[in-house]
Amino acid sequence: MSRRPHPLLSWIAPLALLLAASTPANAAAVAHPFLSRPIWIYDNWSAYDELSDAVPLTEDLAMRELTEIVRLKKLGVRFDYYLMDAFWYAPEGGYRTWRKESWPEGPDRWIEACLENGIKPGLWFGTNSLLQMSAAPQWHDSLITNGGAMALYGGGFLADFMDVLQGWYDRGIRLFKLDFANFDAAVAGDEKRLAPAEIRGRNEMALRKALEAFRRRNPDVVLVAFNGFGGDLGSTDAPLPFHEPVDHAWLSVFDSLYSGDPRPSDLPQMNFWRSVDLYSDHMVSRFEASGIPLPRLDSIAVMIGNTGTNYRRKLHAWQGSLLLMMARGGWVNTVHGELERLDSDQARWLARAQALYQDLKESGATHSFGGVPGEGAPYGFVTANAAGAVYAVVNPSETIAVVPLPRLTKAGDQGRVLFRDAGFEPVLDGDSIRLGPEQMALVGAGRYDNPDYGLGVQSDVVIPRRIAPIGVNFSFDEAAGALTTTVAPPVSGDLRVILQQRDPEGMAMRTSGGAPPEGTRMGRILVIKASQGGKPLPVELRYDRAIWSGLSWAVGEIRHGAMEPEAPIEIRLSTAETDPAARLEGRIFVVEY
């Protein structure tokens, strides 16, 4: 995997150019060809979940979330669009009719209520894949041999699909989400006479031309691309270039490309939600390294709610995730899930955070700096305009780190920490900041070096004030199928134990026990156990949840108060992964909070 240069001096010249280009007069022209300013989308996925859980989409749920949007808007929160995600459609209706049992009167009440409240409605579509639906009769001559998808280059599907989109546009829909594109789909029989590359090329060209025409007819439409449009989204341990390359030509028709549904990264973190942050940061950095401008990426990292798709997140660590989503520079900003979980004070905080980054993005530009997020070196995103800059900085390592910041303002400007995780207190020193292990902070400089922009402390993410590795050797117990070691209890502090699962080449190996409600929790699959004098010690696990996307690591902590002061502690690490190629590694740290 390639790495970006880390030293401060390497960033002065390029970021000086960034500042020069970030005047209000030309920022919009540089940042986005279709949008005059960054937009905010509410997507109701994760308030319900019919893929990795069993919570259905209903009209009552959809209207409840619309009521919440209206409430939040009165408190200053900005939402421009309300996107109705998957499974609104009747299985036999070819995207023209709504699921009768959930929407007995159809969508008119929802569409009208959106428009009455100044919100533009949007709809999800499965592009050319059949997701819990049947092919309409006019699509049959486009079907692939075994069904499940339609070719875009032949038969009647694409023309009819574009008629569907136009029909919904004419009824008030202004945002269209295209998901699960299958560009390998061949008209039945063509797979025997056409090369795979030709099939893919024909499909891509057909859809791109159709969307270009659709956008010309409807210049105010917003088109967002999801699964199938390129990028290797399953792991943060895969090298560039992408095995599934991103065709830059899609930027001519889509407002944004997405960089993967939220999931844990392959870098172990005690705080599970910080690992989810790292996944989104890593994927954005990989798309950026592949030539996709940051304003054209939607990292969709914020999913609040209590469904399997977001691992029962509820509101845990949502503030840091939201700030990082904005800091990545995308002009399409999407918040998913149960808005009713945000109380009035949290809504006002969200409005202040939005206002900070809305101003910055409209008048400036964003750049990443530091290491590659999934590889463990500190990194960040800086958004700057002529008046100042805001840095979102992350130390994903298990050490206290000093992170260089690119200097964008006048000499002597010390900057200000605007937001941080609880626990370890970051220290600004000239052009650098000192962060604790797994810590995130927001720093303002120039105009933004002002307490008026302060966003407080994230109290539900607590960072150790001290951390130190313990040199131990693990041995493999073949009879138990586990790594084992013993360690003396620390004089003070807790023990942090890290397990990583890899393949023989050293790449992260993910294991999943399935999604809720039937999935097995990861604490039973990637297992950390501790005992002292033959008696088990409690181990605090924050990854112990059903994870549809799989996990390649486990982290747990043994509290000092649970340990006896003299007796050695036995640590046992194991996996329920059935692949015999799986290899386990262990590390132990002393942490003090």
Band of residue 426 on the pLDDT scale cut at 50, 70, 90: very high
Band of residue 479 on the pLDDT scale cut at 50, 70, 90: confident
pLDDT tens-digit readout, 319-358: 999 999 999 999 999 999 999 999 999 999 999 999 999 9
Residue 477: predicted pLDDT: 86
How far CA 303 is from CA of 119, 148, 257, 276, 322, in Å, comes to 20, 29, 18, 11, 9
Residue 553: predicted pLDDT: 98
**In this model, does residue 411 exceed pLDDT 70?**
no
Number of Cα atoms under 13 Å in the Cβ half of residue 535: 6
Indicate the DSSP class of residue 583: E
Shared domain for 374 and 438, answered yes or no, is yes
pLDDT tens-digit readout, 556-573: 999 999 999 989 999 999
Mean pLDDT calculated for residue range 569-588: 96
Q: What is the 3-state secondary structure (H, E, C) of 319-330?
A: HHHHHHHHHCCC
Residue where one domain finishes, among candidates 402, 432, 463:
463
**In this model, does residue 29 exceed pLDDT 70?**
no
Shared domain for 373 and 354, answered yes or no, is no
Q: What DSSP line would sit under 408-446, residue for residue?
A: -S-TT---EEEEEEEES--EEETTEEEE-TTEEEEEEEE
Residue where one domain finishes, among candidates 363, 378, 412:
363
Shared domain for 58 and 22, answered yes or no, is no
Handedness of CA 264, 345, 328, 371 (dihedral sign): negative
**In this model, does residue 26 exceed pLDDT 70?**
no
**In this model, does residue 71 exceed pLDDT 70?**
yes
Domain housing 482: 468-592
Shared domain for 295 and 369, answered yes or no, is no
Q: What is the CATH number of the domain that holds 389?
A: 2.60.40.1180
Query: Which region among 29-43, 173-187, 248-262, 455-469 has the lowest average model confidence (pLDDT)?
Result: 29-43
Q: State percent of the chain over pLDDT 90.
A: 91
Tokens of 204: 């891509």
pLDDT tens-digit readout, 482-492: 999 999 999 99
- Sorted by sequence, the CB contacts under 8 Å of residue 195 that are 6+ apart come out as none
Residue 410: predicted pLDDT: 57
Band of residue 6 on the pLDDT scale cut at 50, 70, 90: very low
Shared domain for 320 and 252, answered yes or no, is yes
Determine contact, residues 198/513, Cβ cutoff 8 Å.
no
pLDDT tens-digit readout, 528-542: 999 999 999 999 999
Total domain count for the chain? Answer: 3
Mean pLDDT calculated for residue range 234-244: 89
Shared domain for 535 and 573, answered yes or no, is yes
Band of residue 13 on the pLDDT scale cut at 50, 70, 90: very low
pLDDT tens-digit readout, 267-307: 999 999 999 999 999 999 999 999 999 999 999 999 999 99
Shared domain for 124 and 181, answered yes or no, is yes
Amino acid at 584: L
Query: Which region among 70-74, 173-177, 579-583 has the lowest average model confidence (pLDDT)?
Result: 579-583
**In this model, does residue 18 exceed pLDDT 50?**
no
Q: Residue 281: which of 259, 303, 306 has the closest Cα?
A: 259
Shared domain for 523 and 420, answered yes or no, is no
User: Is residue 517 reached through a cis peptide bond, with omega within 30 degrees of 0 on the bond before it?
Assistant: yes
Average pLDDT, the chain: 93
Shared domain for 299 and 420, answered yes or no, is no
137 exposure class (CB count in 10 Å sphere: 0-12, 13-18, 19+) = exposed
Shared domain for 100 and 248, answered yes or no, is yes
**In this model, does residue 412 exceed pLDDT 80?**
no
Shared domain for 310 and 424, answered yes or no, is no
Tokens of 450: 């002002």
DSSP alpha helix (H) spans, 51-192: 59-74, 108-116, 157-170
Band of residue 409 on the pLDDT scale cut at 50, 70, 90: low
Q: What is the CATH number of the domain that holds 478?
A: 2.60.120
Band of residue 238 on the pLDDT scale cut at 50, 70, 90: confident
**In this model, does residue 420 exceed pLDDT 80?**
yes
Query: What distance in Å separates the CA atoms of residue 391 and residue 419, rounded to the nearest whole number?
Result: 10
Mean pLDDT calculated for residue range 232-249: 91
**In this model, does residue 86 exceed pLDDT 90?**
yes
Residue where one domain finishes, among candidates 295, 329, 363:
363
Q: What is the CATH number of the domain that holds 319?
A: 3.20.20.70
Query: What distance in Å separates the CA atoms of residue 334 and residue 298, rounded to the nearest whole number?
Result: 7
250 exposure class (CB count in 10 Å sphere: 0-12, 13-18, 19+) = buried
Query: What distance in Å separates the CA atoms of residue 458 and residue 420, rounded to the nearest whole number?
Result: 6
Indicate the DSSP class of residue 177: E
Residue 30: predicted pLDDT: 56
Band of residue 459 on the pLDDT scale cut at 50, 70, 90: very high
Q: Can you tell me whether residue 491 is helix, strand or coil?
A: coil
Tokens of 313: 């997140």
Shared domain for 526 and 448, answered yes or no, is no
